[in-house]
Amino acid sequence: MAAVSDYDIVIVGAGVSGSFIAGALTRAGLRCVLLEAGQSFASSDYPDNELDANALLYWGGGIELNKDASIGLLRPKAVGGGSIVNQALLDRFDDSAFDSWRETSGVDFLNRSSLDPWYDAAAENLSIRTVPEEYANGNARIFRDGFAANGYRCAPLERAQGDCRFEDGNCCIECLRGCPIDSKQSTPVTVLRKARDAGLEIVSRFEALRVENGTDRVTVHGRDHDGEQKSYRGRHLVLGAGAIGNSRLLLMSGFAERLPALGDNFYTHPQYMSLAVYDEPVNAHRGPLQSYKSADPGFRANGFKLENVFAGPIGIAMLVPSFGTEHMRHMRDITRMACIEVAVRDTNPGRITVGSSGKPIVEKTLNEEDRKRRDRGLEAIRNIFRATGAKQIIEGNIAIGLHLMGGCNIGVDPARSVVSPEFRLHGHDKIHVADSSIFPNAPGINPSFTIMALSSMAAEKIAADAR
């Protein structure tokens, strides 16, 4: 018989949402435990190379594939979740995102004026800065100049960062595998540090495998890194395991019977990276990785946005569609390459189910409208590269899904949604969710800041319920 530990609140998943909720509930004086399948890292021991980072910071050893292998899914796995590996770009949603959310969900508070105080509350936990213009690297300058040459609008982007010490030559491509100088405002250096000091218990390398909803307690059963079965029991349970993680856990626990929409409505903002080779060095890997964001109303109306990220050599090698000596020749050009990606605001919902071995199966394709959105974005990228003197353009043919959203969508109708406007699973008063899994559809905007805002809002409701 597995040992059972008792708490006020059990939280599964120490990503963006789980961390923010754990912090707020601990501050409210509740006894919380935060369970995370991934490891806990200090800034000094993040993996120092791309290969180890893929293996140690992601589920599936770096990348998982959807059912027809057309989209690579990046699913973070660490204390801090996506905040460890992401680019920390923070954006509030606009009316287009919220209008569409309200229409799909019937949830009235999904609008800017209701959410703004919660964005503000979340921001109090972070340092948010723009990257000083003088540090813009070659890739960012191509992005900015190409936008100007085509009459497209771009803007400085806002990042959750402290002091990145760019004057010392720091390169933020490194922070994609965990920021070694604690500048990136990932949750272990923000909300979790304070929460731990205030008594939050964090259990890393524990995978939750089953949720049992009893009359006055909810129990999470799972196993630790050594394979030992353990259980954690709380008066309330918060699920923060992300879109795929929450759907998988609830499906494996038999909740589908009472929640017919469980696992549906899954979106990814599929992203396609295009590379361009220039005569002169670009050094896209140096300094701040991104300085500007696309802010073009025409792009927004056409359902895409552009970002100029770069990947490590392994990531770039996957995108270059060639073999053998030709591939080696391309890779020798890596310092002369620029990269821009198009992220599609996808309209075709996917579906998460669980295979017999417990592995999540993701059915997700692009429909005609999504392909049109992608193609319009690729055309804008080609225009930018051509206007800035690119000698060759290489279109990466793999879609990457790294904004994983939905599966437990919020809504008023229990037949078509999973989570109620009170952030509780429909029909289950003690199980709460406010992470990326509750997104009703794809907003087309970076999701983290809104996850923080919704989680801060939900935490207040959960604290009231728990009291």
Ligand X SMILES: Cc1cc2nc3c(=O)[nH]c(=O)nc-3n(C[C@H](O)[C@H](O)[C@H](O)COP(=O)(O)OP(=O)(O)OC[C@H]3O[C@@H](n4cnc5c(N)ncnc54)[C@H](O)[C@@H]3O)c2cc1C
Residues that bind ligand X (CB under 6 A): 12-18, 35-38, 74, 76-78, 81-82, 85-89, 207-208, 240-242, 245, 249, 402-403, 435-436, 446-448, 451
Contacts of residue 386, Cβ cutoff 8 Å, sequence gap at least 6: 393
Give me the least distance between CB of 306 and ligand X, in Å please.
Answer: 14
Which residue's CB is nearer to ligand X, number 12 or number 419?
12
Q: Which of 444, 134, 402 is nearest to 296 (CA)?
A: 444
CB 317 within 8 A of CB 331: yes
Neighbours of 207 (CB within 10 A): 18
Distance in Å, CB of 131 to ligand X, minimum: 13
Give Cα 194 to chain centroid, integer Å.
23
Least gap, CB of 36 to ligand X (angstroms): 5
Beta-carbon contacts of residue 335 (< 8 Å; ≥ 6 apart)? 281, 282, 283, 285
CB of 81 to ligand X, least distance (A): 3
Based on CB atoms, which residue is closest to ligand X, 136 or 172? 172
First to last CA, the chain: 31
CB nearer to ligand X: give 135 or 386: 135
Q: Which is nearer to ligand X, 16 or 140 (CB)?
A: 16
CB of 449 to ligand X, least distance (A): 6
Q: How far is CA 375 from the centre of its chain?
A: 24
Shortest reach from residue 248's CB to ligand X, in Å: 7
Chain centroid to Cα 11, Å, comes to 18
**Smallest separation (angstroms) from ligand X to the CB of 79:** 7
* Shortest distance (Å) from residue 325 CB to ligand X: 31
SS3 109: coil
Select 12 or 340, whichever has its Cβ closest to ligand X: 12
Measured from the CB atom, the residue of 210 and 382 that comes closer to ligand X is 210
- β-bridge mates for residue 238, sequence order: 11, 432
Of 440, 444, 464, 463, which is closest to residue 20 (Cα–Cα)?
463
Q: Select 74 or 384, whichever has its Cβ closest to ligand X.
A: 74
Q: What is the chain's Cα-based Rg?
A: 21
Question: If residue 57 lies in a helix (H) or strand (E), which one and from where to where?
Answer: helix 50-57
Residue nearest ligand X (C-beta atom) = 15
Question: Smallest Cα–Cα separation from 11: which of 191, 226, 182?
Answer: 191
Looking at residue 133, the DSSP 8-state letter turns out to be G
Distance between CA atoms of residues 434 and 448, nearest Å: 12
Q: What span, in angstroms and rounded, lies between the C-alpha atoms of 17 and 456?
A: 8
Query: Based on CB atoms, which residue is closest to ligand X, 12 or 398?
Result: 12
321 is written with which tokens? 């569609």
Q: Which residue has the tokens 């509780």?
A: 424
Minimum CB–partner distance for residue 254 and ligand X (Å): 15
Q: Which two tokens stand for residue 223?
A: 């196993």
Identity of the residue, 79 or 390, whose beta carbon is nearer to ligand X in the bound complex? 79
Which secondary-structure segment (H or E) carries 21? helix 16-27
